[in-house]
Amino acid sequence: MFCFAVFACCTALALVICGACGHEVADEQRFCGHCGARVGDDKPAAEDVAATAETVPSPVDLQTVLDAAREDSRMAAEIEEGLPEVALCYYRNAAALARLLPDGMLPDDSGKRLAEAVERCQRRLANTRKPCSVCGGTGRRTVQLRALAGGSEGALRGVESRTVQMSTSVVGSKNSLTGAGVLCTACGGTGLTQSGRNADEMRLMLAQGLRNHETRQQAARRVAIGNVWAPLPVAEALTPRLQALLRTAAASPCADCQGLGIQMCGSCKGQGRTVCKHAGCKDGMIQKRQSNSLTPATALMIKTTCPSCNGSGLIACVNCGGKGHVLCRTCGGLGQPKKCVKCGGAGTGPCKLCKGTGKDRSGMLCSACGGEGVGLCPTCHGEGCAGQ
């Protein structure tokens, strides 16, 4: 009984609790294998890295990282208008490389400007112009007019006969004429309407952009660290902790929305408008028979503008509110998959070689983690998010 009590006391004295996340840490570990915080420090891992950045020299050449980030930003600005899918990759690469730099090496508003540039590229990619579904891309609508008597053009009456430029040939029957020259109200006569790209189109655009960006970075002799491209000297000097900083910054986006957080509306197919459902509405007009005639045979048919669609034949989609897109159901609008359960989104875990001790069997610093005792998470491979 006495021996058991002594053993229990020794075990209790050897137990170490991480002050950042509360998980148990082995006595010989320098860093917590769950959150990466330094053992004995009550601050979270992110604050610990910021606090020691000034005292611990970086293993990478910071000037090389800065030059690479600036080059990516410059290249993205040049091609943003013509190739937004490639510029998006460059902006994201620059933002990821900037995570390796201390606060003093970049302007205070650099992060804000990069975020705004990424949003601009995403908006350019999300929207496109497609042929109008109402006029078929011609920009003009064809209207058929009925003659009141005799089937001649001179017998036409009403507002439409005065505003529509009519053709001289009779179409179909003696009392039917074709009117041309009316601008399509759906597209304003341009023949094109603004439309959102669906998931398949976005997947194709981003895949093309990634291939283009990959070819350009390879030509610049960059090395891939996850989805980030870094100069070769920088890539060779990165520790697993710094690799996780890059990988989590450019983690793979949601597979359904490609990182935009939105999906094409299924009700309006991205048009933002649907066919008017008002009773009697056809192409924006409602046909009524006058009631002041003596007999139904002599009653005149008149057309009035539909009050619901105002003559356009289309109304705002109820499902998306006229936007043409809805929130992604997979990621809830975040654009990213769920965090990795194993590492909690940090992208790091205990080093496999030294088991988190930071030293090898001979007592020297671990060659895999550089003595930090931290390696890439085996589940998410450093990206910090669950696989899809």
Q: What are the backbone angles phi and psi of residue 183, rounded to the nearest 5°? A: -70, 140
Mean pLDDT over all residues of the chain? 75
Cα–Cα distances in angstroms (integers) from residue 281 to residues 163, 303, 305, 312, 380, in the given order: 20, 10, 9, 10, 55
Residue range 105-124: mean pLDDT, rounded: 86
Cβ atoms of 233 and 240 closer than 8 Å: no
275 versus 271: the higher-pLDDT residue is: 275
Q: Is residue 135 assigned to a domain? A: no
Are 175 and 235 part of one and the same domain? Answer: no
Burial class (CB in 10 A: 0-12, 13-18, 19+), 333: middle
Report the alpha-carbon distance of residue 68 to residue 2 in Å, rounded. Answer: 64
**Residue that is last in its domain, among 183, 217, 252:** 183
Q: Is residue 123 assigned to a domain? A: yes
Cβ atoms of 357 and 28 closer than 8 Å: yes
pLDDT in tens, 336-377: 888 888 888 888 888 888 888 888 888 888 888 888 888 888
pLDDT in tens, 74-86: 999 999 988 999 9
The two structure tokens encoding residue 241: 């902790």
Are 326 and 268 part of one and the same domain? Answer: yes
Q: Is residue 384 assigned to a domain? A: no
pLDDT at 215 over 90: yes
- Residue 103 is classified by DSSP as G
**Residue that is last in its domain, among 183, 217, 250:** 183
pLDDT band at 328 (very low <50, low <70, confident <90, very high): confident
Share of the chain above pLDDT 90, in %: 17
Closest CA to 45 of 381, 297, 388, 373: 373
Q: Is residue 57 assigned to a domain? A: no
Amino acid identity, position 43: K
Residue 292: domain span: 264-337
Q: Is residue 114 assigned to a domain? A: yes
- Residue 304 is classified by DSSP as E
Q: Can you tell me whether residue 296 is helix, strand or coil?
A: helix
How many residues belong to the chain?
388
pLDDT in tens, 280-306: 888 888 887 766 655 666 667 778 888
Are 162 and 125 part of one and the same domain? Answer: no
Q: Output the pLDDT for position 267.
A: 84
pLDDT at 71 over 70: yes
Q: Which long-range contacts (CB under 8 A, 24 or more apart) does 39-44 make?
A: 43/19, 44/20
Are 200 and 216 part of one and the same domain? Answer: yes
Residue range 106-113: mean pLDDT, rounded: 86
Cβ atoms of 218 and 232 closer than 8 Å: no
Report the alpha-carbon distance of residue 92 to residue 96 in Å, rounded. Answer: 6
**Verdict on whether the full-model pTM lies above 0.75:** no
